[in-house]
């Protein structure tokens, strides 16, 4: 029963984490013009890049080191991680000053508020996965689910409340809502975990923590940033070639596939500590079973999403929004299926300490995505962006499968 609850809580935690950002995106797509939403989608890339770096240098190493190397010095270890997060806050505040200067130069008050709010929002949003990782390292899935629940409720309450108070929806509102939601959720659950934690006698030095995290995460940073280009560059390419309205259309359709894609990535990430505890024979057997099982799930997901495309677009965005974009949804819905071999193989390699091999595959997939995006968008428009991502995932997945076979041989 405890293991069953752990799994249920993990799924609930991921659903809430993904759901918060998804609902913010959906409401922004409904309440902003296509061009304004396109600008928001491109600005959201700052959080996505920050998450890639944070996850590589803090999140994933924490799952491994928090349960092994620094288990007896967990309190000191966690305080050091909070300090590192504070350094990130300082750096992003500098970025905020720069964004404020850019906003002032264009002389638009709403843009000034939006740009200056983004860095603080990014730091607050990144505090949420930090607390979630701690909860799972300590074997407390209820706390992980709690931080997601608080984040969801506070963010959405703020978002709807700000719109009601102002009488309209402005570009800075989602950033303020995300900032407050992240701060409230992270500080609340972190404080509860501190009170319940037993005092440890071990000590941890910042330089040791930094060295250990860097040893695991340095290749993941490279892989993550280049891998981000697989799909992350698409809004920039679309915006340059087709304008902000097309970016809004791309992101609006991507929202419909986000539960599957983000849910897949998040669940695969949570598999790392479990895979790390398996012997080689069990690991290979579990890998094959998960590959078949997840493939069946994402195939059904593809059929369902494509079949419900027309009513889904009308229900989510309204009868007058993005109806012409329904034909692009097949590429978006196929993303989780194409990502599976790359993501699952990557989780396996990370669990056995071979992040460098994963990095080389992710770099390769990223380059395929970069060089495929521009010509496909030029020829096919917005659908070409989704097809370029599928192509990159397929190429990376093929090489990843080779790497996995090479490891077991």
- Among residues 240, 243, 244, 258, which one has the least CA distance to residue 329? 258
| The predicted structure's pLDDT at residue 159 | 93
Residue 155 has pLDDT above 90, yes or no: yes
Confidence of residue 95 (pLDDT cuts 50, 70, 90): low
CA 333 to chain centre: 17
pLDDT band at 43 (very low <50, low <70, confident <90, very high): confident
The whole-angstrom separation of Cα 223 and Cα 129 is 19
DSSP string, 340-397: HHHHHHHHHHHHTT-HHHHHHHHHHHHHHHHHHHHHHHHHHSHHHHHHHHHHHHHHHH
Specify the pLDDT at position 99: 47
**pLDDT: which is higher, 15 or 98:** 15
Q: Rounded distance, CA 220 to CA 361, Å?
A: 11
Query: Ramachandran region of residue 243, left (φ > 0), alpha (ψ -120 to 50) or beta?
Result: left
Assess contact for 96 and 151: CB atoms under 8 A: no
Q: In Å, what is the CA distance from 46 to each residue of 149, 205, 257, 338?
A: 24, 31, 21, 25
Distance CA 270, CA 208 (A): 25
- Cα separation, 150 vs 185, in Å, equals 5
Burial 190-228 (b: 16+ CB within 10 A, else e): bebbeeeeeebeeebeeebbeebbeebbebbbbbbbbbb
The answer to whether the beta carbons of residues 361 and 399 sit under 8 Å apart is: yes
Is residue 114 scored above 60 in pLDDT?
A: no
Nearest to 274 by CA among 358, 352, 342, 193: 352
Task: Please write the tens of the pLDDT for every residue from 327-361.
Answer: 678 888 888 899 888 888 888 877 777 767 777 78
What integer pLDDT is reported at residue 10 of this predicted model? 62
Higher per-residue confidence, 330 vs 66: 330
Q: How is residue 335 written in tokens? A: 């993303």
Given a contact cutoff of 8 angstroms between Cβ atoms, the answer to whether 64 and 276 are in contact is yes
**Across all residues in the chain, what is the average pLDDT?**
78
Q: What angle do CA 48, 49, 50 make, to 5 degrees?
A: 90
pLDDT at position 223 is: 72
Alpha-carbon gap, residue 129 to 182, rounded angstroms: 10
The DSSP secondary structure of 12-57, one letter per residue, reads: HHHHHHHHHHHHHHHHHHHHS-HHHHHHHHHHTHHHHHHHHHHIII
pLDDT tens-place string over residues 244-302? 888 888 888 888 887 777 777 767 766 776 777 777 777 778 888 888 888 898 899 88
CB atoms within 10 A of CB 384: 23
What is the rounded average pLDDT of the residues 386-403?
Answer: 90
- Rounded to whole angstroms, the Cα distance separating 252 from 230 reads 18
> Tokens at residue 340, please?
């599976």
Q: At what angle do helices 355-380 and 234-242 cross, to 10 degrees?
A: 20
- End-to-end CA gap in the chain: 36
Q: Taking the domains of the chain in order of start, what are their residue ranges?
A: 1-204, 213-409
Cα–Cα distance measured from residue 227 to residue 361, given in angstroms and rounded to the nearest whole number: 9
The model's pTM is: 0.77
Is residue 176 a contact partner of residue 162, using CB atoms and an 8 Å limit? yes
Cβ neighbors of 5 (< 8 A, separation 6 or more) are 141
Residues 400, 392 contacting (CB under 8 angstroms): no
CA distances from 257 to 92, 173, 225, 287, 332 (A): 30, 24, 22, 24, 6
């Amino acid at each position: 029963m405890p293991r069953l609850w752990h799994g249920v809580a993990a799924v609930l935690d991921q659903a809430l984490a993904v759901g918060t950002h998804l609902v913010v995106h959906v409401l922004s797509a409904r309440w902003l013009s296509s061009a304004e939403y396109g600008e928001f989608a491109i600005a959201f890339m700052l959080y996505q890049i920050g998450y890639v770096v944070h996850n590589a240098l803090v999140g994933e190493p924490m799952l491994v080191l928090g349960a092994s190397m620094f288990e007896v010095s967990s309190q000191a270890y966690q305080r050091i991680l909070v300090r590192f997060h504070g350094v990130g806050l300082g750096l992003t505040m500098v970025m905020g000053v720069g964004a404020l200067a850019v906003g002032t130069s264009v002389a638009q008050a709403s843009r000034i508020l939006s740009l200056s709010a983004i860095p603080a929002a990014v730091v607050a949003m990144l505090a949420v996965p930090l607390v979630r990782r701690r909860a799972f390292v300590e074997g407390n899935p209820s706390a992980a689910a709690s931080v997601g629940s608080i984040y969801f409720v506070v963010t959405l309450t703020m978002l709807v409340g700000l719109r009601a108070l102002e009488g309209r929806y402005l570009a800075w509102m989602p950033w303020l809502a995300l900032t407050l939601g992240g701060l409230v959720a992270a500080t609340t659950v972190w404080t509860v975990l501190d009170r319940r934690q037993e005092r440890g006698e071990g000590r941890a030095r910042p330089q040791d923590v930094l060295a250990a995290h860097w040893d695991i995460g340095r290749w993941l940073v490279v892989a993550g940033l280049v891998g981000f280009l697989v799909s992350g560059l698409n809004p920039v390419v679309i915006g340059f070639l087709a304008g902000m309205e097309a970016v809004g259309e791309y992101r609006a359709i991507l929202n419909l596939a986000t539960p599957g894609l983000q849910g897949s990535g998040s669940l695969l990430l949570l598999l790392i500590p479990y895979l790390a505890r398996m012997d080689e024979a069990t690991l290979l057997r579990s890998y094959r079973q998960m590959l078949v099982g997840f493939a069946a799930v994402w195939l059904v997901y593809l059929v369902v999403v494509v079949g419900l495309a027309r009513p889904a677009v009308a229900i989510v965005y309204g009868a007058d929004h993005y109806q012409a974009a329904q034909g692009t949804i097949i590429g978006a819905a196929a993303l989780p299926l194409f990502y599976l071999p790359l993501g699952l193989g990557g989780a396996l390699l990370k669990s056995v300490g071979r992040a460098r091999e994963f990095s080389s595959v992710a770099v390769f997939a990223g380059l395929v995505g970069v060089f495929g995006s521009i010509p496909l968008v030029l020829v096919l428009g917005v659908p070409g962006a989704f097809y370029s991502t599928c192509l990159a995932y397929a190429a990376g997945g093929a090489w990843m499968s080779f790497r996995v076979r090479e490891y077991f041989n």
